[in-house]
Amino acid sequence: MAALKLSLWGMPVTVALAAFVGPTAPEVAAQGIDPSVLEVFEWRNVGPLVAGRSIAVAGSVARKNEYYAGATGGGLWKTTDGAHTWHPVSDGSFGGVSVGSVGICANDPDVVYVGTGEGQWRGTISTGDGAYVTRDGGRSWAAIGLDSETGQIAIARMRVHPRDCDVV
């Protein structure tokens, strides 16, 4: 563990930094376990590659392995295999790349609504350009409004009526 000494508004602050790397081969061998068991483990990405922060995630009870993840600086991504692989579904369809909310219709999981812009305000945010809908599971998208000429738009939640996919 390492300590980092910083100053926050003129007051000294110490931050503890720690990282878990896992046991080394000699440590495993010292416990009487064959170190070759470590050879099966490897690092892998479990989400969209270089998508940035994600604050918008949604799935459907009807499709247990299908999820959408909206990145604040990387568009909308979809998995159909329980997050093993992800595919971009908004590239070229949205005016911007910031996704702040996702809503899926319970009656028809192919109907997905997306609100753009980062709803979690912080020092640096990504703004959006309105709301979008797909009725074919992300193959095509249509802008449905809520855009702003100021460029300061953020739609932090999209809720779809549980029985009427046209009411958001």
Task: Compute CA 117 distance to the chain's CA centroid, rounded to the nearest angstrom.
Answer: 13
pLDDT of 25 reads: 72
CA distance 53 to 32: 42
Length of the chain: 168
As to burial, measured by CB atoms within 10 angstroms (0-12 exposed, 13-18 middle, 19+ buried), residue 89 is buried
* Residue listed under structure tokens 């009411």: 167
pLDDT of 142 reads: 96
Q: pLDDT by residue (tens digit) across 52-110? A: 677 889 999 999 999 999 988 788 999 999 988 889 999 889 888 889 999 999 999 99
Give the torsion sign (CA, 135, 138, 140, 142).
positive
Q: pLDDT by residue (tens digit) across 4-61? A: 455 445 555 554 444 445 667 777 778 887 878 777 777 655 555 555 677 889 999 9
Type of residue at 99: V
Q: Of 62, 101, 59, 99, whose CA–CA distance to 82 is shortest?
A: 59
pLDDT of 133 reads: 97
CA distance 73 to 127: 9
Helices (H), the chain: 25-30
Q: pLDDT: is 47 or 152 the higher one?
A: 152
State the pTM of this model.
0.69
